[in-house]
Structure 1
Amino acid sequence: MTTLQEKLFQKVTEKEEKMIAIRRYLHENPELSFHETKTAAYIEDFYKGKDCLVKTKIGGGNGLTVDIIGKQTKPHLAIRADFDALPIQEDTGLPFASKTPGVMHACGHDGHTAYMMILAESLIELKDELPGSIRILHQPAEEVPPGGAKTMIEGGCLEGIDHVLGIHVISTMDTGNIYYHAGPIHTGRATFKAVLHGKGGHGSTPQEANDAIVAAAQFVSSVQTIVSRRINPFDTATVTIGSFDGRGSANVIKETVTLEGDVRLMREELRPVIEKEFRQLLHGICEAFGLTYELDYQNDYPVCVNDQKLTELVKEAVINANIPEVSHVEDCGPQTPSEDFAYYALERPSCFFFVGAHKEGTPAYPHHNPKFYLDEDCLLIAAKAMASVSLFYLTKGAE
């Protein structure tokens, strides 16, 4: 007798070419966070005429939910895929490269959406055999705070949901490998913009000026002591100055300097410590140099924490599925990027795991790079991985 998993695997395998075509269409037509109206309409149109319940404009944004009701409503699992792009000029040379100047799917969200649409279509076709129900979360705006996850949660996307699962394809992890980790999996984040105001002048008479560049340079060096001297060496945290805008003439002392950057942390308890030290250092240095300043310091994505029990279920499900395209299933440990999937994990026991997307023998460009590339073989693997975990979850939950 053919099992439900075998039927589902067969369906997504038969639709692999369609999955890749969807991914390429989305890749050619990227839209930035909070502006994904055409993408949302494309996804909505895909579900027309299918035996499912679709809700649009979740929380007033571009998000959609798709409910696939099985033989019973419980357990009710949510599985999430994001669909926004980035303000990056593509430099891949692909025949299906972005048609929109300055905008690119440089993080794999086009792949997430493509595999999820085909998996959802296949689940709908088998819905009468499902021992529970599944809600697809098509989420916009992962890349830009406050993030689409927060908006969707506020719009009720988790009402009636027991647990949430998500996958990210990773261009620096080998295709054929699936990775998981229980506990903190992604860092929390804060961003900042500091504008330092001094007194401009001429390089020949520095005594008559008040150099904002010197003060800003002192701050750039000093702010690193937060991690080296205020954070436990066994904790993970970073403070990055990503932009130092003090451009001017070579012989002119700059009056104003703007610094921008971000903070990452792996324990929420570190957040207030870092912010306090940051503010104290900035205030003290500006006082010492006789400068004034403006600071916009924004705490956004929390630390993403994978539920221990659900992560064990994910591991067991993927291993037991014996997916032909999967070579290894392993614990990857915590990862340093930040993810707004963290908001789902605050609301429901959740698990966010990874599918390798780097083809052996090719360059491995990181995410958010103009040359970012994902091996499209990862799409079928992602679909089968999420399929196996979802069915395993519904079966165990129904027992």
Structure 2
Amino acid sequence: MKGIAARVDAWLVEHHDEVIRWRRHIHANPELSHMEYQTTDFIEEKLRAHGLDPVRFPGTGLRVDIGPDTGDRLAFRADIDALPVSELTRLEFASAVPGVSHACGHDVHTTVSLALACALADNAELLTHGIRVIFQPAEEVMDGGAVQVISWGGLEGVGSIFALHVEPKLKVGRVGLRTGAITSAADVINLKVFGPGGHSSRPHLTSDVVYALGKVITEVPGLLTRRVDPRTGTVLVFGSVNSGYAANAIPESGTLTGTIRTADIGTWRELQELMEELIGQVLAPTGCTYELGYQRGVPPVINDDLATALLADAARAIDPQGVVNAPQSSGGEDFSWYLEHVPGSMARLGCGSGEGPAHDLHQGDLVVDERAIGVGVRLFASVAEQFGGATGEVGQPDGFLS
């Protein structure tokens, strides 16, 4: 075998146990968004041990460049933060931090990119194109740490960018790809409704806040379906409603919160104005006053067609049968902000063992098949080889996927 991808294969075999220890250390020591200080220190220590010179971002997170400065580097992004979710797995390396865990698999993303960077550093003489690996903080909070990374120059000199996200419903060894929208935009609505209050026997003498909230809950989602193309996958769901304290009293205020999601970036840019219009029209006849808070989240991840084709070629070089179609998700992902600036693509990395019950993301019982780490590293290495125009056979590293 020859080429950078084959060298990375060999590196993975030699460093298999070490890489697994990295992942388990990160998993056992999760840190919330903007608090990833120990995680950043750990990543920096490993990178420097392999002769690299990472650049830390203000606060947490870092980036590192490998290979020649070609002016249009190929970038790979990993998110490093954890969630405020208690781990329920009882693994030997389960989270040691109460109420915090890597329930979204970011420990795997971090380990994949860390192993990739170290393997490339140890074989940098084969690189014909510059590589940047970005370890991004705060993916789990709006409007996402990607915005800060971009403002700190994280994309300067980058020509394209790639990422992956673990998918427990996809068997390990499979790579899910999709051209176009693979995630959705996700915005948050906070509505406060006010009235003078009154006795429930005399609703005609006041403005009924509870009735007004009910009209918004039942009418606005329906109106939305008549104002937005249904093919955009736009959906409004309210998650909480609060008002009142007694059966015979009309309250003076109430609150309603929810999310609105869409897979169409054009629709996303128009949603705030449309929601303000619809909610105002629905509440107007009730006599209530209101305050509408609309929090913009992240745009949908729109995978570039050429970048996705490159990912597909890279994945098939590893396993001709490994590529599957990824469904469009209604979840949000701040990788989308990078794609507002440079072309790129995000892949779904199968991490399900195929045994026992299927787990899900953002759940405390998420268990990842660690063989997915090797698949992810090899996928990125294959992308680097395909992108740089190098040649090389790709094999399967023992211990990661058989």
Tell me if both proteins adopt one fold, taking TM over 0.5 as the criterion.
yes
1:156 corresponds in structure 2 to: 153
Q: Secondary structure at the match of 1:300?
A: strand
Q: Secondary structure at the match of 1:392?
A: helix
Q: Secondary structure at the match of 1:309?
A: helix
2:128 corresponds in structure 1 to: 131
For 2:348 and 2:54, how far apart are their aligned partners in 1?
Answer: 27
1:68 corresponds in structure 2 to: 66
For 1:258 and 1:20, how far apart are their aligned partners in 2?
Answer: 47
Superposition deviation, residue 184 in structure 1: 2.1
2:343 corresponds in structure 1 to: 349
For 1:46 and 1:392, how far apart are their aligned partners in 2?
Answer: 26
Unpaired runs of 5+ in structure 2?
Answer: 392-402
Residue 334 of structure 2 corresponds to residue 340 of structure 1: yes
Q: Deviations over 1:183-220 (max 9, x none)?
A: 22221222121111223445566556543222111101
Task: Tell me which moved more, 279-288 or 189-198.
Answer: 279-288
1:386 corresponds in structure 2 to: 380
For 1:271 and 1:309, how far apart are their aligned partners in 2?
Answer: 24
For 1:147 and 1:177, how far apart are their aligned partners in 2?
Answer: 28
Q: Deviations over 1:323-382 (max 9, x none)?
A: 8xxx52122243322211111111111111111111112222221122222222211111
Contact 1:12 1:119 in 2 (8 A): no
1:369 corresponds in structure 2 to: 363
Supply the AA of the counterpart residue of 1:256: S
Supply the AA of the counterpart residue of 2:334: D
For 2:214 and 2:18, how far apart are their aligned partners in 1?
Answer: 53
Q: Secondary structure at the match of 1:34?
A: coil
Residue 289 of structure 2 corresponds to residue 295 of structure 1: no
Aligned length: 391
Superposition deviation, residue 178 in structure 1: 0.5
2:395 corresponds in structure 1 to: none
For 2:18 and 2:247, how far apart are their aligned partners in 1?
Answer: 57
Q: Secondary structure at the match of 1:47?
A: helix
For 2:317 and 2:49, how far apart are their aligned partners in 1?
Answer: 34
Residue 26 of structure 2 corresponds to residue 26 of structure 1: yes
1:241 corresponds in structure 2 to: 238
With structure 2 as the length reference, what TM-score do the two structures score?
Answer: 0.90
Contact 2:215 2:283 in 1 (8 A): no
Within-5 A mapping of 1:1-399: 2-57=2-57, 60-70=58-68, 73=70, 76-203=73-200, 206=203, 210-246=207-243, 248-322=245-319, 328-395=322-389
Q: Secondary structure at the match of 2:348?
A: strand
For 2:348 and 2:307, how far apart are their aligned partners in 1?
Answer: 15
Contact 2:31 2:39 in 1 (8 A): yes
For 1:375 and 1:52, how far apart are their aligned partners in 2?
Answer: 29
Contact 2:315 2:382 in 1 (8 A): yes
For 1:172 and 1:212, how far apart are their aligned partners in 2?
Answer: 43
Contact 2:3 2:390 in 1 (8 A): no
Q: Per the alignment, do residues 139 and 75 of structure 1 end up closer, same or farther by CA in structure 2, a change over 3 Å counting?
A: same
Q: Identity of aligned pairs, percent? A: 32
Superposition deviation, residue 163 in structure 1: 0.9
- RMSD between superposed Cα atoms in Å: 2.2
Superposition deviation, residue 272 in structure 1: 4.7
Task: Tell me which moved more, 238-247 or 388-397.
Answer: 388-397
For 1:237 and 1:289, how far apart are their aligned partners in 2?
Answer: 27
Q: Per the alignment, do residues 13 and 253 of structure 1 end up closer, same or farther by CA in structure 2, a change over 3 Å counting?
A: farther
For 2:297 and 2:372, how far apart are their aligned partners in 1?
Answer: 30
Task: Tell me which moved more, 230-239 or 157-166.
Answer: 230-239
Q: Secondary structure at the match of 1:195?
A: strand
Q: Deviations over 1:283-330 (max 9, x none)?
A: 23333222121111022311221111121111112112338xxx5212
Task: Tell me which moved more, 144-153 or 372-381.
Answer: 372-381
Supply the AA of the counterpart residue of 1:274: L
For 1:385 and 1:151, how far apart are their aligned partners in 2?
Answer: 27
Q: Per the alignment, do residues 200 and 365 of structure 1 end up closer, same or farther by CA in structure 2, a change over 3 Å counting?
A: farther
For 2:72 and 2:283, how far apart are their aligned partners in 1?
Answer: 57
Q: Per the alignment, do residues 203 and 16 of structure 1 end up closer, same or farther by CA in structure 2, a change over 3 Å counting?
A: farther
With structure 1 as the length reference, what TM-score do the two structures score?
Answer: 0.91
Supply the AA of the counterpart residue of 2:132: R
Contact 2:189 2:292 in 1 (8 A): yes
Q: Per the alignment, do residues 36 and 249 of structure 1 end up closer, same or farther by CA in structure 2, a change over 3 Å counting?
A: farther
Q: Secondary structure at the match of 1:190?
A: strand
Contact 1:34 1:61 in 2 (8 A): yes
Q: Per the alignment, do residues 371 and 248 of structure 1 end up closer, same or farther by CA in structure 2, a change over 3 Å counting?
A: farther
Task: Tell me which moved more, 339-348 or 176-185.
Answer: 176-185
Superposition deviation, residue 77 in structure 1: 0.8
